[in-house]
Amino acid sequence: MNEYLQFRPDQSVLILYAKVAQKSYGNEKRFFCPPPCVYLCGTGWNLRQEHLKAIGHGESSCRLCGYMGLDSSPGPQTDSFKLSFEEQTEKRMFACAKTLYISDTDKRKHFRLMLHLFQSGGQEIGSFQSGLIKVISKPSQKRQSMKNADLEEQQADHGDYSVCDSYICYGCVVQLVCTNSGVALPPMVIRKVNKQHVCLDVDEPVSQLHKCAFQFRDSKHMYLCLSNEKILQYQASPCPKESSRELLNDGSCWTIIGTEVVEYTFSESLSCNPTTVSPVPVIQGLELNGGGHVAMLELHGENFSPHLKVWFGNMEADTMFRSPRSLLCVVPDISVFSGEWRSLRQPVTVPLSLIRMDGLIYRSSFTFTYTPEHSATSQLCTTIDRVPNSDMLIDTIHQEFTRSNFHLFMQS
């Protein structure tokens, strides 16, 4: 466990998807936009393949494969999309499901995407779900108001372009910035689009599922355009009958959609053989009760089982299974992590993990912090109780925000 905590040979599955999906009617197929994407990250994927080769599997049977479909599909079926993973870096692979849709025969108002991963030789890796996706019949045509506009997200300043603390309205100057790399396009004016016509005189708030265009600020008739996967400038044509409108092509019309990402992280470094990792337990919240030698931590989440143990750093905690949504464990004493704990003057923070009986590790995004009594309480921690006969306080857990922000996705 110490080696795992030092080197973190993890395997992560990230699923990126839109929070809404438009229903298809009859024979039409309204593919999900933007298409759901999958990233496989971490050194653990290479270690898994090396282990399979070491026990006799050939190169061709070790390739990673996958299917993605709606959660009503129990396994790879004709309506699932076969994923072809391409290696972007040594530690990251990518695939995209471009032709998924939901038909009008499906009467659900919400659904989840289901990802099935396996090796090409047939070894199953596991199944992974997205969050809930709302089904709509068509985008709302109602005029958006300030009250129900749902796009405004504080971001850091980029260069000399500062973020405004208000709603984004058509006619405002905006800038598209990649939250991962910081790469930014030039400042542009966001315009409303109606039936491929730019409406230059509209100043209402921007909202999800609106059609829009991005006009280059230094040129009146030039717009951001996507053509054959290349970003270009497109020159719009003036409308002879209406001076406040200009005609665009398809590649210059964009849709604003809110997106989300789910992440599953695990490691097979302590297990004897690669095995099925699902159902993947997910910790969603923590609750601390009591103090001293009877301090208990309750974990709330999904897919818990009696075969899981809670670990504080490199120390296993006595764990009790309550239900698939609840685990209870005894908080280890601070002396386990530091023999000179009475003289500590700095907080001690340890990561929380779940380990299955066969050695499979599920790393969480939560940590547990022991704080010295004299220290001021951190903004991310709340003091729960004093531990009797010690100078330490057990604090609640704060979640590490280490993931990239996936708030908006602009897609033509």
Mind listing the pLDDT tens digit for each residue in 170-225?
999 999 888 778 888 999 999 999 988 999 999 999 887 889 999 998 888 999 99
* Residue labelled with tokens 């199944």: 127
pLDDT tens track for 318-343:
999 999 999 999 998 887 776 655 55
Q: How far is CA 50 from CA 44, 56, 87, 211, 331, in A?
A: 10, 10, 16, 48, 37
User: Which distant-in-sequence residues (6+ apart) come within 8 Å of 375 by Cβ?
Assistant: 345, 346, 347
Q: How far apart are CA 315 and CA 337, in angstroms?
A: 8
Q: Is residue 157 part of a domain?
A: no
Q: Are 391 and 349 contacting, i.e. CB atoms less than 8 angstroms apart?
A: no
What's the pTM?
0.76
Verify that 309 and 395 share a domain, yes or no.
yes
Domain boundary (229, 263, 297) is at: 263
Q: Which residues contact 119 (CB under 8 A, 6 or more apart)?
A: 52, 57, 61, 62, 63, 64, 65, 125
Per-residue pLDDT band at 232 (split at 50, 70, 90): very high
Structural domain includes residue 273 = no
Sheet strands (E) in 251-406: 254-267, 282-289, 296-302, 308-312, 315-316, 319-323, 326-330, 348-356, 361-372, 383-386, 392-395, 398-399
Confidence of residue 277 (pLDDT cuts 50, 70, 90): very high
* Same domain for 194 and 295: no
- Mean pLDDT on 8-24: 92
CATH number of the domain enclosing 247: 2.80.10.50
Q: How many domains does the structure of the chain reveal? A: 3
Q: Which residue shows structure tokens 């053989």?
A: 273
18-49 pLDDT per residue, tens: 999 989 888 888 899 889 999 999 988 888 87
User: 83, exposed or middle or buried, with CB in 10 Å at 0-12, 13-18, 19+?
Assistant: buried
Cis peptide before 9 (omega within 30 of 0): no
Range of the domain at 312: 281-399
